[in-house]
Amino acid sequence: MSRVSTPPAKSAAKSSDKPKNAPSKDFKSLIFDELGFQSDPNNLYRQTVGSMLYAADLMKLPHYLKIILAQPKNEIMVHFPVKMEDGSFRLFKGYRVQHNNALGPYKGGLRFHHDVHLDDVKSLAFLMTMKCSLVGVPYGGGKGGIKVNPREHSSTEMERIVRRFTTAIAHQIGPDYDIPAPDVGSTSQHMAWIADTYAFLSEVGGNNPNAVITGKPVGYGGSLGREKATGQGVVDTLVELLPAVNLKPENCTFSVLGFGNVGSWSGKIFQDKGAKMIAVADHTGFIKSAKGIDAHALSAHVEKNGGVKGFRAADACTKEEFYKTKVDVFIPAALEQMIQEPEAKMLDCIIVAEGANAPTTPAGERILLQKGIEVLPAILCNAGGVTVSYFEWVQNKTCEAWDLKTVDAKLNKHMVEAAARTMKARKKYDCDLRTASYIAALERLAKAYEVRGIFP
């Protein structure tokens, strides 16, 4: 029987409590060979698709759906030159991967990062298909990005890079076809430049050029509540699932890895519900304070200084001290594959709430599950962002503007329903929550394929 239906006493989780159907260490799928996947077990794309295939096997998904979902429909790569402020030219590389559109237009963020690769973008696009299906928004999955470090460029250079990238992919996106959004390194200002550039290309602009992208500033077609949406969804999921492990937000301590959009909003909203944040890390350093770190004050510090380093109301600490800090909830909200075996061994928590996409490797997750730690999977936990992106798109298309109360209430409904569908699948298949969330997502996709069929 799963631990969620029989909650363990706080900190009394035992490995013997773990669900019967936890992914085995040697999980391999014939599909990997059939489709020529990379053999490296540390490859992110292999890992993310592997988790889905494990769930697909458990629920006996037909073979044709497994192969369709194991690869994206389209992988677009562009190279484009941009004039720098010193008069020189640089060539940039951009991506847009369109994974699946069985349930609606492709949807997913744009990552601006110097280390972004095709496999990362493919993995993130795949996760978007699963996430949109799980949370019940009528979209498929996509993802894109530019290989660029936004911190190295002035605002004028970034504007040229973003507008030129938009021109390069303009014929591959559209309000009814593929709708990007922000991700790591991209901001609402970047989204505004994309929407504006797209609107200028009138032959592809159509009637709702704004709706080609979400995460825009509220003054230019954005939705109230979008900026905080992913963090809000993380906390909505926690509020829904904490009682199953005998926890309440007001009694919780927590730590956060990554204090950007997702990490800072998760921190602020969870703190406003009474939880106490006691350790934080980002690319600039690690800090902790047993008395509590005020998430609002830290957020203002990060805004001003670019990172958590130097925040006076907490002590600097080492990576080991950060991970070993005993908390109820640990929220990874930075990049992929950061919770590997060593980090999982150090973590001392009851719940890992994945704010980031794919932050936990399969090897890391096995250790967490063996330690009796619940992992709230990313496709459930961080689905708040795409859900409010969907609300923004609906508002653009209907020329409406919803108030924050309406947005928050509608978001909560989607999160609660997605959590309930995940729990139902967990109960039925006696599996870990990640597998259950994939099963719930795959059930919806399978129904769509069943009635649509495969043309011709």
Active site residues: 143
Q: Does 125 bind ligand NAD (CB under 6 A)?
A: no
Preceding omega of 456 cis (within 30 degrees of 0): yes
Count CB neighbours of 295 within 10 A: 26
| Cβ(262)–Cβ(353) below 8 Å | no
Q: Which residue in the shown chain puts its C-beta closest to ligand NAD? A: 260
Give residues 259-278 in contact with ligand NAD (rule: CB under 6 A).
259-263
Rounded to a whole number of angstroms, the minimum distance from the CB of residue 80 to ligand NAD is 23
Rounded to a whole number of angstroms, the minimum distance from the CB of residue 301 to ligand NAD is 12
How many DSSP H helices and E strands does the chain contain? Answer: 17, 12
| Cβ(120)–Cβ(111) below 8 Å | yes
Give residues 409-428 in contact with ligand NAD (rule: CB under 6 A).
none
Q: Which stretch binds ligand NAD (CB under 6 A): 57-65, 241-249, 349-357, 419-427?
A: 349-357
Give residues 379-408 in contact with ligand NAD (rule: CB under 6 A).
382, 385
Q: Does 97 bind ligand NAD (CB under 6 A)?
A: no
Interface size with ligand NAD, residues (CB under 6 A): 24
- The residue ranges of DSSP E strands in 283-378, in sequence order, are 285-288, 315-316, 329-332, 351-353, 374-376
Q: Print the binding letters for residues 136-155 with ligand NAD: x by CB under 6 A, - otherwise.
A: --------------------
Q: Please pick, from the candidates 281, 407, 419, 442, the single residue that binds ligand NAD as defined by CB under 6 A.
A: 281
Q: Read off φ and ψ for residue 352, nearest 5 degrees.
A: -105, 120
Residue 314 tokens read as 């907490």
Instruction: Give dist(CA 90, CA 110) in Å, integer.
Output: 20
Residue 121 tokens read as 């973008």
Rounded to a whole number of angstroms, the minimum distance from the CB of residue 142 to ligand NAD is 13
Q: Which residues contact 207 (CB under 8 A, 6 or more apart)?
A: none
Q: Which of 331, 380, 346, 336 is nearest to 42 (CA)?
A: 336
Q: Please pick, from the candidates 56, 69, 130, 335, the single residue that binds ligand NAD as defined by CB under 6 A.
A: 335
Rounded to a whole number of angstroms, the minimum distance from the CB of residue 193 to ligand NAD is 17
Q: Which residues pair with 17 in a beta bridge?
A: none
Q: Which amino acid is at 446?
A: A
Rounded to a whole number of angstroms, the minimum distance from the CB of residue 256 to ligand NAD is 9
Rounded to a whole number of angstroms, the minimum distance from the CB of residue 362 to ligand NAD is 17
Q: Read off φ and ψ for residue 39, nearest 5 degrees.
A: -85, -15
Nearer to ligand NAD, 49 or 191 (CB): 191
Nearer to ligand NAD, 307 or 310 (CB): 307
Q: Which of 130, 222, 217, 144 is nearest to 178 (CA)?
A: 144
Nearer to ligand NAD, 125 or 241 (CB): 125
Q: Does 232 bind ligand NAD (CB under 6 A)?
A: no
Residues that bind ligand NAD (CB under 6 A): 182-185, 230, 257-263, 281-283, 307, 333-335, 355-357, 382, 385
